[in-house]
Amino acid sequence: MIRRKGASEIARLISKGEIKPSEIMESFLRRFEETEEKVRAYITQNFEKAVEEAKKLDGKKPEGKLFGVPVAVKDNIVTKGIRTTCASKILENFIPPYDATVITRLKAEGALIVGKTNMDEFAMGSSTEYSAFFPTRNPWDLERVPGGSSGGSAVTVAVGSAPVSLGSDTGGSIRQPASFCGVIGIKPTYGRVSRYGLVAFASSLDQIGVFGRRTEDVALLLEVISGHDPKDSTSRDIPVPRFTEEIKRDLKGLKVGLPREFFEFDLQKEVEETFREFISKLEGLGCEVVEVSLPHIKYAIPAYYIIAPSEASSNLARYDGVRYGYRSEKFSDIVDMFSRTRDEGFGPEVKRRIMLGTFALSAGYYDAYYLKAMKVRRLIYEDFMKAFERADVIAGPTTPTLPFRIGEKVQNPVEMYLSDVLTVPVNLAGLPAVSIPVGWVGNLPVGGQLIGKPWDEATILRVSYVWEQVFPHYEKTPEV
C-alpha cells in the first residue's frame, strides 16, 4: 500500500522508475478523501494542484532528495499562492506573495505541497481546539484531541494523507501532538532551521520542525530544511550533518539521563509505566541510564507564560486592519477601527496571551516579570548543560497524560498550559528534542521525549532509529 510507505522509500521507488510521482500523489489524494471529513486535518488542501504537478514530473529524470514526495505544511508557514491563515479569522483570506525558506528548500529538492494543516490560532494552544475554523480530531479516538498547536500536521502523518509534514514548536507544539498521534516529531536546535516565512508567535522560542512515521524520513526532511539563511538573523551558520547516515550507528555505551524532577510532576500512572518500560528496553540495547537533576524546571511554565506572551504581544501588533488581513466594517475613527478589528479578528486564547504579554511589558512591570523570567530561562539552560556533563541524551515522557477529550480543558487555561510542562523547558534552553512512540495504553499512543545537546539532533535521531528496529511502531496505523 503506497500510503504506508515513508518519504525516503517513495523517493527511492521514483528514482528507480518503479512508480510514477502521479501514482504516489493519487494514492495520498484517495487517503485524504477517505479520512479528512472525520479528522479535519487541513485548512486548505492543495491536492488537485499537487496531482497536476506530479503528472508533469512523470517520465522526467528524478532530481532532488524529495522528488515527487508529498509534504503537508502547518498553516503558519507562508506558501506563495496558497492561502496561509494561521487558523485565524484575521488572516482568513491572506495569500502570501512569497515562500518561506523551508518551502523554497523543499521545492528545490522536488517535494510537492499537498496542503496547509489546521492548528491552534497563531500556534497558541495545546489541542488544536483554538483554531478559528474547526477542531482537528485524534485519529486513534475521534473524541480526543490530537495535541497542538501543530495538531493538523501530526494527524496528516498519522492517518497517511501525507508521508511527512512540517510543524512549528514554541513550547512543545511539535512534540506534544507527535506523542498524542503516535508519530515522530522533532524540534531542532534554535537557529538550525530558518524562521524566514514562519509567522511569528514568540521569536526567541519558535522553531520549524518535522513530523514523520519513520526516523529516516524525519532525518531526510530535517537535512533538507536545515542550514544558514541570511534572511533570518537568528539562523546559525553551522554545518548540517548527514542525518540520514548518522542515525545508523548502535547505542552501545550511550548515556541516557533521567531527570528526577520529570517524575515529580503529576504524571498519569499508565504514561509513567509505559515510559519506564521503554527505558528498561533501551538499557537492553546497550544504553547506560544515569540520574540527572534539572532543579529549575519547576519554574519553566511560569517563565514561559511571561516570555512567550510578551513576544506575542509585540509580534501580533502588526495585525491592525490597515495593510492586509481582516478589517472591521463598523468603526467611528482610526483608533476604533484598530480596536474592533483586533477584537473581531482574534480568538479568545490569542487575546488572553496578548493581554498577559502587554501587562508583563508595561511600564513598571518589565523588571518584575519579563527580566526575571529571562533570568530563570538562563538557569534552566545551565541546568541542562550541567546534566549533559553526565549524559549524552536526556529522556522523559513527552506529555504527562494520554490524549484528553475534546472540550475537557478548554475552560481551564492553566490546566491546558500544564500539558506542556515537560516540553517547555527545551524551548527555553533552545535545545533539540524529539518525541517518539514508546508504547500504547489500549489504543492510545504514549510518546517519549529525547533531548539532545545543542546542535546534536543526530544523537537523538539515532536513538529513535535503533528503537524502531526493535519496536516498529510505524506498522500500527489508526483505523479511520
Dig out the grid coordinates for 233 from the structure: 538573523
Distance (Å, rounded) from C-alpha 195 to C-alpha 403?
29
* pLDDT interval class at 317 (50, 70, 90): very high
What global pTM score does this model have? 0.97
pLDDT of 3 > 80? The answer is no
pLDDT in tens, 114-149: 999 999 999 999 999 999 999 999 999 999 999 999
Cα–Cα distances in angstroms (integers) from residue 95 to residues 92, 337, 415, in the given order:
9, 23, 35
Position 273 scores a pLDDT of 98
**b/e code 402-431 from CB counts within 10 Å (16+ = b):** bbbebebbbeeeeebbbbbbbbbbbbbbbb
Cβ neighbours of residue 310 closer than 8 Å, sequence gap 6 or more: 356, 357, 360, 361, 369, 370
Active-site residue (options: 165, 173, 419, 435): 173
Active-site residue (options: 27, 127, 149, 235): 149
Whether the bond between 149 and the residue before it is cis, its omega within 30 degrees of 0, is yes
Which helix (H) or strand (E) segment is 449 a member of? strand 444-452
Distance (Å, rounded) from C-alpha 309 to C-alpha 60?
48
Domains delineated in the chain: 2-256+389-475 (3.90.1300.10)
* pLDDT interval class at 360 (50, 70, 90): very high
Q: State the amino acid at position 395 in one-letter form.
A: A
Position 1 scores a pLDDT of 73
Dig out the grid coordinates for 59 from the structure: 517520465
Cβ neighbours of residue 52 closer than 8 Å, sequence gap 6 or more: none
Distance (Å, rounded) from C-alpha 194 to C-alpha 217?
19
Distance (Å, rounded) from C-alpha 165 to C-alpha 213?
10
* pLDDT interval class at 468 (50, 70, 90): very high
Task: Determine phi and psi for 198, rounding to 5 degrees.
Answer: -90, 120
**b/e code 51-84 from CB counts within 10 Å (16+ = b):** bebbeebeeeebebbbbbbbbbbbbbbbbbebbb
Distance (Å, rounded) from C-alpha 450 to C-alpha 218?
14
Active-site residue (options: 5, 65, 74, 409): 74
Instruction: Give the SS3 label for residue 349.
Output: helix
pLDDT in tens, 397-428: 999 999 999 999 999 988 999 999 999 999 99
Active site residue 328: no
Please give the full DSSP string across 307-325, using - where no structure is assigned: HHHHHHHHHGGG-SSSSSS
* pLDDT interval class at 363 (50, 70, 90): confident
Distance (Å, rounded) from C-alpha 325 to C-alpha 328?
10
pLDDT of 205 > 90? The answer is yes
Active site residue 16: no
Dig out the grid coordinates for 284 from the structure: 537492553
Distance (Å, rounded) from C-alpha 221 to C-alpha 210?
7
pLDDT in tens, 247-297: 999 999 999 999 999 999 999 999 999 999 999 999 999 999 999 999 999
How many C-beta atoms surround the C-beta of residue 437 within 10 A? 25
* pLDDT interval class at 162 (50, 70, 90): very high
pLDDT of 68 > 90? The answer is yes
pLDDT of 47 > 80? The answer is yes
Distance (Å, rounded) from C-alpha 176 to C-alpha 149?
8
Active site residue 149: yes
Question: Mean of the pLDDT values across residues 316-323?
Answer: 93
How many C-beta atoms surround the C-beta of residue 266 within 10 A? 8
